[in-house]
Structure 1
Amino acid sequence: MSHGFDLRGRLRERGADDLRRHLDPAESVGARTRFAEDPKGGSPDFDGTELVFASNDYLGLAGDDRVQRAAAAAARTVGTGAGASRLVTGDTHLHRALERDLADCKGCERALVFSSGYAANVGTIDALAPDVVFSDALNHASIVDGCRIGASETVVYDHCDPDDLAAEMAEREREADDAADESWLVVTDTVFSMDGDVAPLERLCDVADEHGAWVMVDEAHATGLFGDDGGGVVQREGLTDRIDVNLGTLSKALGSQGGYVAGDGDLIEHLLNAARTFVFSTGLAPPAVGAAREALRIAREGDRRERLWANVDRLRDGLEDAGFEVLGDSQILPVLVGDRDDALALERAVRERGVVAPAIRPPTVPEGTARIRVAPTAAHADEDVDACVRAFREAREDVDAL
């Protein structure tokens, strides 16, 4: 008799299903870098330079000199680590300054910085402890896990479908004896990371208002990119006053690490007391705080966003001209393939031509919708974008089914 875990067997099963993952270390973060095969416990052996169209560093700020200097200054003046939970001794003037900037950018009273976007989602939903969460079918795993931990019940509505949300709410009101006394929370990403589409926030808010529910949005793939001030989709759509919980990350367009929640004073005060992922985590490292604050300033004041959207348009047009179906209406450009094996073959063929763009396949996306997720950044030059299009055009000839 054994009460252990057959991890080798689990790995074999993943391998048989083409779902086993491997670490491919990168030499640096940027539009171009060198990669190494998974070294397991050894040291990486880097190969030739490749173009990266797989990063969430949308504004190319992770390698920006100003952001790096801000991180270094924070390390010198405050320290490399916060040293403790922010409720103990880990709360610094840097954390407070970043939170003021985030609140101003989002048009909210206050903001609270978490160690990651994942921690922000899980901790916020758990702290609110809603009786029912109405969650978009394609929400990020961190939202799904937050619902598992913190919600009494989760109702999944069809992706980006306010009518289905309304139907689910109406059914709940009819069938639940105590529905009138329940707390309801509608949760959605604003930009969906695998489809590249944008949630119909105004219509979702209309439905939520009709039923007295709160709305929580995750602007992970929108912070710094949308709206006149880079606040996100909420700010672009003029919906700041209708969103109760504004959440996002510092690790994508802002090129740093961490997550945040912005909202009114009562919400933030409740979270810093009740969100376990905040209370029981060491404060975000000061270099990450300093980097995020400088990156937010650049995103709001500079021309990086305009450069990104020019690259997005150029790349989308090029891929469509090459005969590919490109989904979404954001900076994320999913190239729809369909068959999982064909998607893997296209990924390999593109990689052989020096371009890194990952194949996304079930169960991450529904069966029959495997795709290549292409993500340009503001750091890509026109010739980089053209090289990516050329790699896809040539790779298409190598994959017979395309």
Structure 2
Amino acid sequence: MADDATTGRGFDLDRRLRERERANLRRQLDPAATVEARARFAEDPKGSAPTFETERLVFASNNYLGLATDDRVRRAAERGVSVGTGAGASRLITGDTGLHRGLERDLAACKRADRALVFSSGYAANVGTIAALSPDVIFSDELNHASIIDGCRLADAATVVYDHCDPDDLRDRMAARERAGSDDEAWLVVTDTVFSMDGDVAPLAELCAVADAFGAWVMVDEAHATGVFGDGGGIVQREGLTDRVEIQLGTLSKALASQGGYVAGDETLVEYLLNAARSFVFSTGLAPPAAAAAREALRIAREGERTARLWAHVETLRDGLEAMGYEVWGQTQILPVVVGDRRVALELGERLRERDVVATPIRPPTVPDGTSRIRVTPTATHTDAEIRACLDAFEAAGREVGLL
């Protein structure tokens, strides 16, 4: 590397970092000793080993059911190690194992689909699936996840962004495209089901009705819904829409406490993707321990006991925060506590950390101007006392920053 990155054709990364610092957008790593409802944290050690000291309550995890440290899931991962710590190759070469096939059978049954296909991540599943389908036009919700946005870019399709969770706007935009476009275009409607920053749910039945009227396919990302809704399947299963959604996609890394992503649908879809989705074809298969852990986590999630505890905590937190005077959005396990001003949100987040509660401030450009928030996500393994401690921290911190 050149000594002076600002000369020639190099990249001035120091300047880029300074710009992020000035805009309050620079991120850092805060390593955790364990992935639990309560964990010890270390200051960002950069390239050095972390030193774990402060123990904090974690209300910023996507480990919704608290299964990442569940003994049954751990034992399943240990059994998966007997197959190999890694798959060793693409699944089309030698990286396909019985663990992968068992997980895919269970996912397909849970999603009420003919078949499922497991990718190395949810991100890889999204970009690979959208690009492989190569639609002429993609209709995408304006708040879709970055992996969907990148999939649209890779597909090199005409992308039409419709207003968030607005089937009427989708209908208007489809009608305008129909008037201006070709009759033989392939159209794809893509939406998250549970939106990770707003905690709201897409109106799937209405979106499917619009797509049906124009002959379009529907693809949904159940990343934040898998394991939590619809007997573990997601919003599609809760709403009884399996027969109206052509492509069901999700992740294994949130409620299912593992790693990887999946696509579920009919036999032809899966056969096509395992041949044409580049992020599947040219990636090493999911590590066998991860596949085994996800399969066990899915089994536990479908029992429903963990889910019931999660929803009880969600209700207690929402009621308590709103009683204090906070504005809480959404209808799911994701509780966005809306502050408005980015600086106030950052200060509130810091005051919470001082009280040993980790709840992440989210600010522009991740969310629109004027809607900065603290994103609160309880897990099923939080105790009642820990939920109370979170509420107490929000009350004290909110008074300190002048919100209450």
Q: TM-score range by the shorter chain?
A: over 0.9
Q: 2:11 corresponds to which residue?
A: 5
Partner Cα distance (2:229, 2:156) in 1: 30
2:123 to 100, 110, 118: 118
2:214 to 211, 214, 218: 211
* 1:321-379 Cα distance to aligned partner (Å, 9 max, x none): 11100000000000000000000010011111110000000000000000000000101
**Would the aligned equivalents of 1:226 and 1:233 in 2 still touch at CA under 8 Å?**
yes
Partner Cα distance (1:69, 1:322) in 2: 42
TM-score (norm 2): 0.98
Q: 1:155 corresponds to which residue?
A: 160
3-state SS of 2:159 partner: strand
Q: 1:186 corresponds to which residue?
A: 189
2:179 to 166, 174, 177: 174
Q: 2:302 corresponds to which residue?
A: 300
* 1:49-72 Cα distance to aligned partner (Å, 9 max, x none): 100000000000000000000000
**Would the aligned equivalents of 1:216 and 1:244 in 2 still touch at CA under 8 Å?**
yes
**Would the aligned equivalents of 2:42 and 2:54 in 1 still touch at CA under 8 Å?**
no
2:229 to 215, 226, 243: 226
Residue 99, structure 1, aligned to residue 104, structure 2: yes
Q: Map of 1:329-368 to 2, 5 A cutoff?
A: 329-368=331-370
**Would the aligned equivalents of 1:52 and 1:356 in 2 still touch at CA under 8 Å?**
yes
* 1:24-64 Cα distance to aligned partner (Å, 9 max, x none): 11101000001111101111111221000000000000000
* 1:302-337 Cα distance to aligned partner (Å, 9 max, x none): 400101001100111111111100000000000000
1:322 to 321, 324, 344: 324
3-state SS of 1:62 partner: helix
**Would the aligned equivalents of 1:108 and 1:264 in 2 still touch at CA under 8 Å?**
yes
Question: 1:400, CA displacement in angstroms?
Answer: 2.5
2:55 to 49, 60, 78: 49
Partner Cα distance (2:219, 2:117) in 1: 15
Residue 27, structure 1, aligned to residue 33, structure 2: yes
* 2:90 alignment partner AA: S
Partner Cα distance (2:53, 2:179) in 1: 61
1:59 to 58, 65, 72: 65
Question: 1:135, CA displacement in angstroms?
Answer: 0.1
- Count residues in correspondence: 398
3-state SS of 1:394 partner: helix
Q: 1:279 corresponds to which residue?
A: 281
Q: 1:37 corresponds to which residue?
A: 43
Partner Cα distance (1:65, 1:230) in 2: 20
Q: 2:145 corresponds to which residue?
A: 140
Partner Cα distance (2:215, 2:402) in 1: 53
2:198 to 185, 195, 198: 195
Identity score, percent: 71
TM-score (norm 1): 0.98
Partner Cα distance (1:157, 1:217) in 2: 15
Partner Cα distance (2:402, 2:18) in 1: 29
1:390 to 389, 392, 395: 392
**Would the aligned equivalents of 2:118 and 2:263 in 1 still touch at CA under 8 Å?**
yes
Gaps of 5+ in 1: none
Partner Cα distance (1:374, 1:401) in 2: 17
Partner Cα distance (1:302, 1:295) in 2: 12
